[in-house]
Structure formats: C-alpha cells, structure tokens
Amino acid sequence: MSTTIPQPSTLRKAAIKVNGQNLPIDGVPVHTTVLDWLRDRGLTGAKEGCAEGECGACSVLVARPGIDSPTEWTAVNACLLPVGSLDGQEVITSEGLGTSTALHPVQEEMAVRGGSQCGFCTPGFVCSMAAEYYRSDRMAGVCDHEHGPNGFDLHALSGNLCRCTGYRPIRDAAYALGDPAAEDALAARRSSPPPPPATTRLAVAGASFVRPAELDDVLELLAGEPDAQIVAGSTDVGVEVNLRGVRAPLVVAVDRLAELREFAFGPDEVRIGAALTLSEIERLLAGRVPLLAQMFPQFASRLIRNGATIGGNLGTASPIGDTPPALLALDASLVLASRRGERVVALADYFTGYRETLKAPDELIRTIVIPQPLAPMSAFHKIAKRRFDDISSVAVGYAVEVADGVVRQARIGLGGVAATPMRARATEEALTGQPWTERTVREAAAVMAREGTPMDDHRASASYRSAMLGQSLLRFYAQQEVSA
C-alpha cells in the first residue's frame, strides 16, 4: 500500500480563518504564538497554563487533511504554534463551537454533568473532546476500559489537565456524546477538503517565517541559510520560544510539504515521511508495527502527537526522545536530502554526540525507513514518573528473533542512559546465539545494567537508571513467556 496525503500549495495573503472569519496576520511578529494572537483578538477561551504543551488549556481545532475523511478536526496546542504556521488554515476555538444560548453538544454535556468548576481548563477540554466527537469512525469503535459505549477514546483527552473538577464528570460527559446531528456544520465540513497550505512569507522586525511550496525550495533555502530553524509541529521549538526566549531570525515550516508526508507499507520496508504527525502515523500503520504501536500511547499526549513528527524528534537529537530507542530496535535508517542529493544513513550511526548528528546543516530528514520483515518479539518500555504525558527517565525498544529456542538476532535501543540514544551492543551480543532461557536473560540483564553512561538528574539517579535497564530485560522475557 502506498499513500500520499495530498497537500497542494497556493500563494495567498497571510490570514487565518477563525470561527468563520478571515483574520489577517501580516505585521504580527513571527514568534507570536497562535494562543497569544487569538487572545489579543478577544478570543480568550483558550488559556495559557504551562506554555509547554502539557496542560491543554490552550487547545483549539484545526481543519486538516483526513485519513478516513477529506477533513478531520484536529486538536492542537495553540501555545506552541507560531502564528505563521496556520496561515491559510481554518481554526475553531471554544467560542466558535457554541454560544451561551445555543451550546454545542460537548459544552452541554460538560455543563449538565458537572464537568467544570473554576472553568480555566474547560475550553481546552471542550476543544479536545470536540475533536474526538467529530472522529468519523468513533461510533463504530470498541468499548473497553479506555473507550466508552459510544467509542470515545479517553486518550483524546490525555493532554488536558484539570486541577479542581476531577476527571469522572469529564469522562461521563465524553461517554454521553452521541453522533453529531445532521445539521451540524462542523460535521458536514468533514466531507470537503481542508484549505490547502499557503506559501507563506512573513517578515517583521528582523525575523522571518517562510513556508516554501516544495521540498526543492526548502533545500535551496537551507543551502544559503544553514542556520534556519526548521519547524513542523513546533512541539519542541515552541517550548524554547516560550520558556527560554529563543528567537531564530529565520523559521522555515516544512509540516505541509507533500514530499515529507509520504507513506508506504510494503513487503520489504516501511517508509514514513518525516513530516507526518505521530497521530497520522499511528493510524496509517494500524498496529502493523507492534513496537511502534506500544510506543505511540506513551509519547507525550494526543495533543502533542497531533503535531509532533518523527523527523522533528530525530532532528532535535535529544537523548531522551521516545522514538529513537524504538527505531533503533527496528534497525531504521534515514533518508537525508539536500540540494546535493539524497543519502541513506543508518539510525545507529546517526547520533554522534549530545544533540549532535551526522546531518549536515543544509540537510533535511525526508523519510524514515524500517526494513521488513519485523522481528516476531518486540516491546517498548518507558520508565517515567507518570504513566502518560511525561518525559522518560529510561526508554528501551526491543526486537528479538528466536528460532528453535535460540536467539537468532537481538536489537535493543536505549534512551536516557547516555549522551545519545544508543544500541545496547554488549547485551545484544550476550543474547545472540544463546538459548532463550531465564538463565541467559538474567546473565544478559547484568550486562545491560552496565550499558551506557547514565547520570544523576532530577528525573532519576544513575544507579536507578542502571537498575531499570536490567529489570527491563527481565520484564521483556517474562512478557514473552506469558504471551507464548
């Protein structure tokens, strides 16, 4: 199967359609967040609670290309997005969902079921809940501990925090929602394509925001401006802007480039465009890469995954990113593009130092390639202070093949235990060619506890990280024995 989510480009005057009204953004400083821009225009339903994408008080709906329908209403963190990133796009805030005399069904259920007290977080919950309310296949979904009888996926609210109401009334409101009414304009909007991404050029007070039309345009720009800040979902860069005051002179948006949004699942390899969001990848893969299927729910929150990309996660080269350990275990490689051409780099060779990589300043990550067939035994373990929506202290990806009771191949990716994500080479060697038994695994676990150069910080001590490495391998073995 091969899929390219269509992303045509047009040149237009910079503006954002908000609640049905076109609002110009020409002259707005390019590092202004969508949240601040909306609030400056009197749309104060969205709030700033954390300015780093953890609380969801700022969430709004954006019309984006759909997988199951031409348009999907997607909830995103307005506090992280630069205003230029939504040029030409269509946005709905909590004010655009309903009025005090004609509440939206989500607002109605939140009100009658006691889902709001102080109300600070309520508009953000409403927007995230509305995105799930309009999911086209929701009512056909399963009913389990994470899905209500109406198919509502509680993970849709995983990026929204409430400090006074409690989550049971909010969950009750979500589970009470039925199908959108036939006359619901936002439901009907899903049947027509979203606005095409604009070719944007904003320049204010010495800073510029550019959204080129095609990949070649980006590569040409990077050849002359290698220090340009590349953004897709801005889930990492937005934090730097908000909390550290970073102001790059040139910001280049690549999130809507068709060349970076290709997807193909074949017998020999899986190819994932670097600008596809994690939410899109999760749905396109549909569980066919089990290791990634385990990783996705543990990667931040749905709100973050609606913007975050694998290209961005690898581009920052953080030693505690969640995708590198999983992709290292999957023996992934990267296609790097520049004006000089393309080259393929094994992910295991990609990281060269703390937040340093083989990628040249004029190069861009175009595609992530995962070879097939996949190892039959895999798992993703994340050790953090919270189960969801947290940064990992240790992350481990496993891909192991056992034939006739002997370990034929083992690949283990590690995060949080060195200056870079890394392969657990010594542990892999200790496992390969050995019988897949508890004794072998215990001996290998002792080796794994010595992998990397873990450090003490506010998330975990070095000794704790080392202990968790060894325990993780034992846990992996126990999981496989239970499932056998």
- pLDDT tens digit sequence for 293-347: 999 999 999 999 999 999 999 999 999 999 999 999 999 999 999 999 999 999 9
By CB atoms closer than 10 A (0-12, 13-18, 19+), residue 443 is middle
- Predicted local distance difference test score (pLDDT) of residue 484: 66
Report if residue 58 sits inside a domain. Answer: yes
Report if residue 241 sits inside a domain. Answer: no
Report if residue 228 sits inside a domain. Answer: no
Residue 222 identity: L
- Domain hosting 300: range is 257-374
What is the chain's alpha carbon radius of gyration, rounded to the nearest angstrom? Answer: 23
Do 93 and 192 lie in one domain? The reply is yes
| 276: Cα separation from own chain's centroid | 9
- Predicted local distance difference test score (pLDDT) of residue 102: 92
Do 40 and 182 lie in one domain? The reply is yes
- pLDDT tens digit sequence for 245-288: 999 999 999 999 999 999 999 999 999 999 999 999 999 999 99
The DSSP secondary-structure symbol of 180 reads P
Do 385 and 363 lie in one domain? The reply is no
- Predicted local distance difference test score (pLDDT) of residue 8: 37
Report if residue 401 sits inside a domain. Answer: yes
- Residue 368: strand pairing partners: 272, 334
| Number of domains forming the structure of the chain | 3
Question: Angle of helix 167-175 relative to helix 122-133, nearest 10 degrees?
Answer: 30
Entry field: residues in the chain? 484
Report if residue 473 sits inside a domain. Answer: yes
Do 42 and 97 lie in one domain? The reply is yes
Do 13 and 133 lie in one domain? The reply is yes
Q: Which of 145, 163, 197 marks a domain boundary?
A: 197
Question: In this structure, what CATH number is given to the domain that contains residue 43?
Answer: 3.10.20.30
Do 149 and 293 lie in one domain? The reply is no
Question: In this structure, what CATH number is given to the domain that contains residue 389?
Answer: 3.30.390.50
Do 163 and 77 lie in one domain? The reply is yes
| Token output for 417 | 């235990």
Question: Angle of helix 462-483 relative to helix 438-448, nearest 10 degrees?
Answer: 160
The pTM (predicted TM-score) of the whole model is 0.95
Q: Which of 197, 224, 249 marks a domain boundary?
A: 197
- Predicted local distance difference test score (pLDDT) of residue 388: 81
Report if residue 63 sits inside a domain. Answer: yes
| Token output for 205 | 């007070």
CA-nearest of 96, 10, 68, 60 to 284 is 68
Do 364 and 430 lie in one domain? The reply is no
Question: Angle of helix 122-133 relative to helix 105-112, nearest 10 degrees?
Answer: 130
Do 24 and 163 lie in one domain? The reply is yes
Report if residue 340 sits inside a domain. Answer: yes
Report if residue 154 sits inside a domain. Answer: yes
By CB atoms closer than 10 A (0-12, 13-18, 19+), residue 354 is exposed
Question: In this structure, what CATH number is given to the domain that contains residue 290?
Answer: 3.30.465.10
Do 426 and 358 lie in one domain? The reply is no
d(CA 299, CA 345): 24
Do 24 and 128 lie in one domain? The reply is yes
List of the chain residues with pLDDT < 50: 1-11
d(CA 109, CA 98): 13
- Predicted local distance difference test score (pLDDT) of residue 139: 77
Q: In what order do the strands lie in the sheet with 422-423?
A: 377-383, 394-403, 406-415, 422-423
Q: Which of 344, 374, 404 marks a domain boundary?
A: 374
Helix (H) or strand (E) holding 262: strand 262-265
Q: Answer yes or no: are the C-beta atoms of 193 and 65 closer than 8 Å.
A: yes
Residue in the structure block whose two tokens are 């004609």: 102
Do 93 and 163 lie in one domain? The reply is yes
d(CA 288, CA 292): 9
